[in-house]
Chain A
Amino acid sequence: MSALTVTDLTVDYRQRGGSRFRAVDALSFALEPGQTLALVGESGSGKSTVVRTLSRFVKPSAGEILLRGVDAADGVERGLPRGRRAKRKAYHKTMQLVFQDPFASLNPMHTVAHHLRRPLLLHGGHRRGPKLEAAVLDLLRSVNLTPAEDVARKHPHELSGGQRQRVAIARALATDPKVLLADEPVSMLDVSIRLEILNLLDRLKQDRDLALLYVTHDLATARHFSSQIMVMYRGEVVERGPSDQVILHPAHPYTRMLAAAAPDPTVSRAALAEARAQRAALRDTRAAEHRESVLDQGCRFRSRCPFAMPVCATRPPDLPAVKGSVPGAGAGGAGHAARCWLLDESAAAAPAADSAD
């Protein structure tokens, strides 16, 4: 059984003046225990809204969220305690999250110990006393914060960014969750400690058989720390598949551009200059402003897409329609899919240009 199954999740935000803005559009995915799924996207892609919706800060306008086979919304319930409050509590126990900004996710007024005691009291069946304190210290040790006794007494401002993020992770683990949502857990941290935090998450995932959703804008760590990748653009998934497949053989022009934009220190100067010239040519004569504009119908990426064709003005086929049909995907391409007219045999012959390299 998947730890979390999301089907056709749609989230709309009400804007001033009554109009609606679709932040997430019919998103479906599943999280498996012991596996990491990376959700990659830029700001405005809707990836944070996904996390907020799964954490129940935002109400979805459509779609189904099944947490260990149980509907998160009111409806079918099996094995969960009765009553809305109890159900909500069970949900929160099972799913926890780690925030992006460790400077904002800990309450400046409270000690580290307070942050860890609360989930233990709420969900761990603990009572105040020495046992609780021991559990707090255990949690701190499990995220390599030692000496735990000292750290527990401190206030957030006395800790470094990395240490704070470890506390935030410990807090999320305190309820002994099955699903962990990590919303850009390292993007606010110093470069040199990012990998340590990601390694910690990876180890905890394995030790505790967690289903991990790793939300990020960084393709490189997404590839190295997850087995599957979903790429989101303006509210919809444009490409998904095994991480090596998606990164090494990107099918959607957006993923290709993302991959090409990532700095690569090993490439020579000449190659860099060439890539730059290529990008400039692809950007052609369109003004920067034009490239950033939002289009209502059709492919949402087409204003920036170097391969945009007339057919792009109509909506590209949904993901399942091209499942596993990425041209040239070869072996290991199973489950690799992209939402683009270029990959649709019935559409105009796709230019084979691969701007990624």
Chain B
Amino acid sequence: MPATVTTQLVEAPAEAAVRGSGVLRTALRSRRLIAGLCIVGFFVLLGVVGPLFFGNPNLVGTVQHAGPSAAHWFGTTDIGQDVFAQTVVGARATLEIGAAAGLIATVVSVVIGIGGGYAGGWVDEALALLSNVALVIPTLPLVIVVAAFVKNTGLLPTVFVIALTSWAASARVLRGQTLSIRNRDYVLASKALGEPVWRIVLVEIMPNELPIIVSQYLFAMIFAILAQAGLAFLGLQSPDLLTWGNTLYFAQNAQALSSGDWWWFAPPGLCIALLGAGLALINFGLDELLNPRLRVYREPRARRAARADGTETGQ
């Protein structure tokens, strides 16, 4: 699959990409962005509409250990549950956890990263130290231990635990960006006008970091989905919760692997990977859109063919 074709002038200023009708045109030409949006859109639709078509996906059936068929697209489990139904319905909770934990993590990182970066001084030093420490201390073992200690199993505690262990990287990125923006002339100009601090942060600085915040949110969402799947797989999530990770846990517990029921564990994992890839593709697309240096110029096929071997720039 040929990748991006973005043919805007390389020296176009990054800000130009932020607004204006030209952005939309460029965006629509980024195949990565389109592909990502399509994938994520599909799963969101699945999560919203899907559960309406299946009553209870955990209903036990008589057909057990059956491979994919017309009646059961993704086959059945050891107790005859329909894997397709479980996968479709599982999309909702998976997305909810991803979206919610990602949101909380992003909000925390915005407060700590942008707040600290703008405040400067010892507040910034302390918050930066906090983020850096949170970054280097391995979080999943911590989450596992905490989960085991508290025996939390519900949706909300999961969301919070994941969120509170995944904000640090994003906070560091936002802090760096804020440190650079807060000394830009337009922020100084606002200061020189006597703008109140909250206005400078919210109106002058934040909008310029929006693309980064969105990108960090998408990453946080991927992380949260993966983390939840891992926790569920280890059996640290309530069995009542129906997520892709839980389906994988049941598959593993029922020895789906050794009994060769690949259709049981393949779809949920593939869905996680696809959704994650979709989110990551959106990120790549945005990145290319906002960072002209990343844009790769692809020559029209005819010209490329005419030019035998990359000698144009002496590569």
Question: Are A and B close enough to touch in the complex, i.e. CB under 8 Å?
Answer: yes
Least CB distance, A317 to chain B, in whole angstroms: 36
Complex alpha-carbon distance, A107 and B195, angstroms = 14
When the two chains form their complex, are residues A175 and B191 in contact, meaning their CB atoms are under 8 A apart? no
Size of the B side of the interface (Cβ < 8 Å), in residues, is 22
From B105-113, B181-189, B297-305, the one touching the partner chain is B181-189
Q: Does A36 contact B (CB under 8 A)?
A: no
Least CB distance, A270 to chain B, in whole angstroms: 42
CB closest residue in chain B, given A183? B185
* A118: contacting residue among B18, B184, B190, B207, CB under 8 A: B190
Summed over the interface, the residue pairs from A and B with CB atoms below 8 Å come to a total of 75
Q: Does B192 contact A (CB under 8 A)?
A: yes
Interface of chain A residues 95 through 117 with chain B (CB within 8 A): 95-97, 99-101, 103-110
* B185: contacting residue among A93, A105, A155, A175, CB under 8 A: A105
Interface of chain B residues 172 through 216 with chain A (CB within 8 A): 184-195, 203-204, 207-208
When the two chains form their complex, are residues B194 and A157 in contact, meaning their CB atoms are under 8 A apart? no
When the two chains form their complex, are residues A157 and B20 in contact, meaning their CB atoms are under 8 A apart? yes
Q: Does A316 contact B (CB under 8 A)?
A: no
CB closest residue in chain A, given B189? A105
Q: Does B240 contact A (CB under 8 A)?
A: no
* B15: contacting residue among A56, A118, A156, CB under 8 A: A156
Least CB distance, A96 to chain B, in whole angstroms: 6
| Size bracket, chain A contacts | 20 to 34
Q: Does B16 contact A (CB under 8 A)?
A: yes
Q: Main SS of chain B's interface residues?
A: helix
Complex alpha-carbon distance, A179 and B83, angstroms = 74
Q: Does B13 contact A (CB under 8 A)?
A: yes
Least CB distance, B278 to chain A, in whole angstroms: 27
Complex alpha-carbon distance, A56 and B191, angstroms = 9
When the two chains form their complex, are residues B20 and A57 in contact, meaning their CB atoms are under 8 A apart? no
Complex alpha-carbon distance, A34 and B294, angstroms = 49
Complex alpha-carbon distance, A106 and B187, angstroms = 9
Least CB distance, B47 to chain A, in whole angstroms: 32
Q: Does A345 contact B (CB under 8 A)?
A: no
Q: Does A171 contact B (CB under 8 A)?
A: yes
Residue-wise interface mask of A (73-113) relative to B, using a CB-CB cutoff of 8 A (1 in contact, 0 not): 00000000000000011011101110111011111111000
CB closest residue in chain B, given A89? B194
- A-B contacts, 30 listed (Cβ < 8 Å): A56-B191, A57-B188, A89-B194, A91-B194, A92-B193, A95-B192, A97-B189, A99-B185, A99-B188, A99-B189, A100-B185, A103-B13, A104-B184, A104-B185, A105-B185, A105-B188, A105-B189, A106-B186, A107-B187, A108-B15, A108-B208, A109-B207, A110-B203, A118-B193, A123-B193, A123-B194, A155-B15, A155-B19, A157-B19, A171-B193
What are the 4 closest A-B residue pairs judged by CB atoms, nearest first?
A108-B15, A92-B194, A105-B185, A109-B207
